[in-house]
Structure 1
Amino acid sequence: MLYVERLRRRMRVLFGGVWVAESEDVLLLFEPARYPVAYFPESDISAHVLERTEKITQHPDLGSTSWYTVRVGEQHVAARGAWQHTKLPAHATELQGRLAFAWRAMDAFYEEDERILGHAADPYHRIDIRQSSRHLVVRYNDRVVADTRHPLGLYESGFAPRWYVPRDDIHESSLTAVKLQTFCPYKGLCSYYSIGDARQAAWSYTDAYPEVRRIANLVSFEPDIVSVFLDDVQLHLEPGQTVVPHGPDRNLDVAELERAPGGGPEMIAGG
């Protein structure tokens, strides 16, 4: 389903040390299999930061899309840093006169004075965590990697359950840390492990956000890479369990994840 909904929170966009957009009238666009995208009224975007380019693309549902360079002075330039749907069909007129900023191209997005990482937050996204006594066993080839009767089930909107295992129930020597890190706006920074020659077969939120602190430093295993059995039934990754990134800032380092303090730069004059 393609739909928009009012965010009902002040959102600001930081680029080049200044707020290039600030609005209490942001709309979130929800598209199938994509992260939500924030659209700002033209009137709430700073003057002189947008330069229209010759680039025009076609959105399958929203028509022609014009692209903009975002510029702050001579040092801070984001080519194709923003876009606007210019020939909207009748079912999408709510987006008339609004622009979206490419998440990775900007320095940061804020709701009030708190930085929002990864992508615009989905107000309908929910995570429930439940303690279980079910028997979970993880095998790779003929080796038992994990064996627990104390897994935690993580139930996330739109996704199949993920099972997290305490470190005490894992043969730690089986896990080899890899350099890859990704970021989830709801759980935090995620680290990955290989098991033998099975790359990225497991992951852990070693310092999970307070809202999901119960899974902090526990490990979950990818059932399509290693064999995961729950009460002797082998699990498999269900179809439709991926989303198409639409500009999320993946592979953030630890410094990028630090929450900035309140306050901050001013809007550009004329914004």
Structure 2
Amino acid sequence: MPPSPRNLDELASALLANGPVKTLPAAPKRIRVRLGGRYVADTTRAVYVWEHAYYPGYYLPLDAFAEGVLSYPGSGGGNGNGDRESGYALATLSAGGVSTDRVIVFTRRGESGSEREDGNVLAGLVRVEFAAVEAWFEEDARIDVHPKDPFKRVDVVFSARPVRVSISGTEVARSEACFHLYETGLPVRFYLPVTAVRADLLRDSAAVTACPYKGEASYYDVVVGGVDGLGEIRLRDVVWYYKNPKIECAAIAGCLCFYNEKVDIELDGKMLERPKALFS
């Protein structure tokens, strides 16, 4: 997952020079932003903006923001138009004694207003960094991590095809059935019953990750081979599970999943090729 850019000037300049990967209206979905216990932005005219190819963010029209919550350093504050010459301005979003400066306001070059012209598809839109505020809402449902990609889906299907997992020739899991999770752009994942995995090989990990489609995941390391720690192989964070997955993935709750890229998986008697993916 791409990290949030540290230099907002560089991001804004790059987006204006090269354009985003793509954009798509999110209307009529209602999008709200909460900061300091207050809803500081509310709109049904949000836009999906892909700054990179992985997932979109929500950009909101300037008039979605409540009066007085946006200010521009050195400009006297207010919901103004920022730096009209550069095509963008960095702003501060404040409410309830809390503020963030991780905000870009895209403006119309040369004069006031918010119409999009001169190829600037972002003019009149505001980028608020997702993690910099208290919460985001789609209608009345809170969203986590980042907005879901409307072109991506996650399907969980039950399969009675047997699965066997091994690491360096050692069998670490075997199940006569499991859940297959299909997520656009990623290898199929096999979620096995916890009793199908050798518990003596698992070691607790402190790692935690979050996914807007599945929820918050916890991890295990797997240790195989060796005697008294000599010659052992330890694969860190190679197994994960969701205690309380999102409702659309509820079937995988408590099941264990291995990174296909890092272990050998045999499905229905056939060894699968290790995929070349983001986590290889």
Give the TM-score category using the shorter length.
0.7 to 0.9
Q: Distance in 2 between matches of 1:34 and 1:65?
A: 24
Q: Distance in 1 between matches of 2:160 and 2:52?
A: 35
User: Which amino acid in 2 is paired with 1:12?
Assistant: R
Give the secondary structure class of the aligned counterpart of 1:147.
strand
Q: Distance in 2 between matches of 1:228 and 1:90?
A: 53
Alignment of 1:72-111 (within 5 A): 72=95, 75-80=97-102, 82-86=103-107, 90-93=118-121, 95-111=122-138
Give the secondary structure class of the aligned counterpart of 2:251.
helix
Deviation of the 1:109 alpha carbon: 0.4
User: Which amino acid in 1 is paired with 2:134?
Assistant: D
Instruction: Give TM-score scaled by structure 1 length.
Output: 0.76
Give the corresponding residue for 2:272.
Answer: 234
Q: In the TM superposition, what whole-angstrom CA distance separates every residue of 1:210-230 from its partner, at most 9, and x where no partner exists?
A: 211111111110123332233
Q: In the TM superposition, what whole-angstrom CA distance separates every residue of 1:155-203 from its partner, at most 9, and x where no partner exists?
A: 1122221111111211122222211111111111111111022111011
Give the unaligned 5+ runs of structure 1.
55-62, 243-271
> Does 1:123 find its partner at 2:150?
yes
User: Which amino acid in 1 is paired with 2:270?
Assistant: D
> Does 1:141 find its partner at 2:191?
no
Alignment of 1:45-194 (within 5 A): 45-53=65-73, 65-72=88-95, 75-80=97-102, 82-86=103-107, 90-93=118-121, 95-194=122-221
Q: In the TM superposition, what whole-angstrom CA distance separates every residue of 1:120-150 from its partner, at most 9, and x where no partner exists?
A: 2323321112222323221123421101221
Structure index of larger Rg: 2
> Does 1:11 find its partner at 2:31?
yes
Q: Distance in 1 between matches of 2:37 and 2:156?
A: 39
Give the corresponding residue for 1:40.
Answer: 60
User: Which amino acid in 2 is paired with 1:113?
Assistant: D
> Does 1:199 find its partner at 2:236?
yes
Q: Distance in 2 between matches of 1:238 and 1:66?
A: 40
> Structure 1 residues 53, 37: CA separation in 2 closer, same or farther (over 3 Å shift)?
farther
Q: Is the 8 A contact 1:9 1:111 kept in 2?
A: yes
> Structure 1 residues 89, 227: CA separation in 2 closer, same or farther (over 3 Å shift)?
farther
- Return 175-184 or 98-107, whichever deviates more: 175-184
- Return 182-191 or 84-93, whichever deviates more: 84-93
Deviation of the 1:18 alpha carbon: 0.9
Q: Distance in 2 between matches of 1:236 and 1:90?
A: 47
Q: Distance in 1 between matches of 2:139 and 2:185?
A: 27
Structure scoring higher RCO (CA < 8 A, sep ≥ 6) equals 1
User: Which amino acid in 1 is paired with 2:260?
Assistant: P
Q: Is the 8 A contact 2:57 2:146 kept in 1?
A: yes
> Structure 1 residues 26, 174: CA separation in 2 closer, same or farther (over 3 Å shift)?
same
> Structure 1 residues 119, 135: CA separation in 2 closer, same or farther (over 3 Å shift)?
same
Q: Distance in 2 between matches of 1:149 and 1:72?
A: 55
Give the corresponding residue for 1:267.
Answer: none
Equivalenced residues, count: 230
Q: Distance in 1 between matches of 2:219 and 2:27?
A: 33
* % identity of equivalent residues: 28
Instruction: Give TM-score scaled by structure 2 length.
Output: 0.74
> Structure 1 residues 89, 228: CA separation in 2 closer, same or farther (over 3 Å shift)?
farther
- Return 112-121 or 133-142, whichever deviates more: 133-142
User: Which amino acid in 1 is paired with 2:34?
Assistant: L
